[in-house]
Amino acid sequence: MFWRAITFVMCQALVGLAVYLLDAGPQRLTLALLAALLGSYAWLVFDTLRGMRLLKWLRDGDTSDIPLGSGYWGELFDRVRKLVRLRDRAVQDSANRLQEFLAALQASPNGVLLLDHEGRIEWLNQTAAEHFGLDARRDMLQHLGNLVRDPAFAAYFAARDFRDDVVMPGRNSSNAIPVKLSVHMHPYGEGRSLLLSRDITAVEQAEAMRRDFVANVSHEIRTPLTVLAGFVETLQSLRLDEDERERYLGLMAVQATRMQTLVSDLLTLSRLEGSPLPPAQDWHALSILMAQCEQEAHELSALLWGKAHELQFRLEGPLEIAGSLSELHSAMSNLIGNAVRYSAPDKPIAVRWTGLPNGGAVFSVQDHGAGIAPEHLPRLTERFYRVDRSRSRETGGTGLGLAIVKHVAQRHGAELGIESAQGKGACFSIAFAAQRVR
């Protein structure tokens, strides 16, 4: 302000002095004073123009430089420009952080919706759009209650009690492929809400499988236990002759063996699911493995049918396989054992080991039994799934054999194949990759 006052006074003095020195007339003092007044007016006009340029620059929000020079307005312009640039930088940083935050929410595996105090959508990520069938552009600022009409969610949203979540069907849910969502609202700010949705279909399926598994195991164990308990009570309460006693003890032994087999299969499944993958460097001879399976198949056939099946074993192609010998033996013997159980003794069973053009090999078991209806094929590898429960109990099956085979195949990088038709038998195969055979 000091230099501003100095320039104003100097402008007046210099103009007045110049007129006073140049005019030699009697009225030069008056003219000099008028000139000084005009000089001050000129300075005021020039200064006002500079101020107006600065004001226009502020109103327009322009960020380019304007030539105001030095002095009061020039310094004011420099200071304001620095503040504006700092503000713009802060706004840009805030915008960048917001975009990063929204990008993180967009990448979230859970659905995220931001709702205002009236329940209208302010923002949502793609996962939420898929969960609820929404469109990020079309449905912005629409009331969520008008877009999601599920009764369970509508009651939850209207109650405004968000201490727990609510489970509702997803947008693409159907009877064949059910989809379950867990939805939880979290109030924040001034009446706003954060809605999180999570696809819990796999969790629900796992829980259902766990319940079914426990129920199936309980049922499978309860049946032989009931039989054993009945026979024990009979032996304790009745006086039996030696033949009856031996018959009862034999039936008890069968039930005990059935429970032992069930426990053994359960332990095998548990070990397969919890152990490391089998090594690819341990090589085993197919001839020895097939000889063991053939001997066991003859023994099982004699036990179940009183005579041995006609077993046709043929090995062609690579004669060594890499992996876990016990697991491979379990898988192959299970497939052969199933063929023995479900084929009449007068029907042949063909066991083949065949090389493939790509260097791999296929182990297959072909029977000529009753075959399997097409609707049962997708579920055959489920635990305890049986096409005919009464038939399985007669043959001593546990319902876990094919589940074990599937796990062994997956652990060895192989693929389990099932081909069957009613009345035409069935063919079960395990296709091994080239790196597993030689």
Q: What are 364's strand-pairing partners? A: 352, 429
Pick from 217, 273, 210: nearest CA to 407: 273
Pick from 427, 373, 379: nearest CA to 399: 379
The token duo for 40 is 């001050």
The token duo for 386 is 């049986």
Q: Are 193 and 206 in contact (CB under 8 A)?
A: no
**Terminal CA-CA length for the chain:** 96
Q: Are 331 and 404 in contact (CB under 8 A)?
A: yes
> Is pLDDT of 234 > 70?
yes
Phi, psi of 190 (to 5 degrees): -95, 80
Give CA separation, 123 vs 58, 139, 186, 245, 395, in Å.
33, 10, 15, 78, 61
Q: What burial class does residue 213 get, using C-beta atoms within 10 Å of its C-beta: 0-12 exposed, 13-18 middle, 19+ buried?
A: middle
> Is pLDDT of 399 > 90?
no
Confidence band for 230, pLDDT divided at 50, 70 and 90 = confident
Q: What angle do CA 31, 37, 39 make, to 5 degrees?
A: 100
> Is pLDDT of 43 > 90?
no
Fold (topology level) of 206-275: Helix Hairpins (1.10.287)
Q: Are 52 and 68 in contact (CB under 8 A)?
A: no
Q: Rounded CA gap, 108 and 105, in Å?
A: 5
> Is pLDDT of 20 > 60?
no
**CATH ID of 278-438, from 3.30.565.10, 3.30.950.10, 3.40.50.300, 3.90.420.10:** 3.30.565.10
Question: Do the domains 108-199 and 278-438 sit in the same CATH topology, yes or no?
Answer: no
pLDDT at 38: 65
**108-199 architecture in CATH?**
2-Layer Sandwich (3.30)
Confidence band for 67, pLDDT divided at 50, 70 and 90 = low
Q: Are 283 and 438 in contact (CB under 8 A)?
A: yes
Q: Which of 29-38, 83-92, 160-169 has the highest mean pLDDT?
A: 160-169
Q: DSSP characters for 371-437?
A: ---GGGGGGTTSTT--S-HHHHHHHT--S-HHHHHHHHHHHTT-EEEEEE-TTS-EEEEEEEPGGGB
Q: Are 184 and 195 in contact (CB under 8 A)?
A: yes
For the segment 184-207, what is each residue's pLDDT rounded down to a tens digit? Answer: 999 988 888 899 999 888 888 878
What are the boundaries of each domain within the chain? 2-101, 108-199, 206-275, 278-438
Find all residues with CB under 8 Å of 152, minimum gap 6, and list them: 166, 167, 168
Q: Are 370 and 392 in contact (CB under 8 A)?
A: no
Per the prediction, the chain carries an average pLDDT of: 80
For the segment 317-362, what is each residue's pLDDT rounded down to a tens digit? Answer: 788 999 999 889 989 999 998 888 888 888 889 999 999 999 999 9
Task: Sheet with 111-115: list strands edge to edge.
Answer: 121-124, 111-115, 192-199, 180-188, 166-169
Q: What angle do CA 206, 210, 216 make, to 5 degrees?
A: 140
Q: Rounded CA gap, 58 and 425, in Å?
A: 89
> Is pLDDT of 176 > 80?
no
Cβ atoms < 10 Å from Cβ of 70: 9
Q: What is the mean pLDDT of residues 40-53?
A: 67
Following CA atoms 376, 378, 379, 382 in sequence, which dihedral angle do they give, to the nearest 10 degrees? 150
pLDDT at 14: 58
Q: Rounded CA gap, 438 and 431, in Å?
A: 14
Whether pTM > 0.75 for this model: the answer is no
Lowest mean pLDDT of 195-199, 259-263, 282-286, name the range: 259-263
Q: Rounded CA gap, 162 and 183, in Å?
A: 10
How many alpha carbons lie under 13 Å from residue 303 in its C-beta half-sphere?
Answer: 13
pLDDT at 427: 92
DSSP 120: B
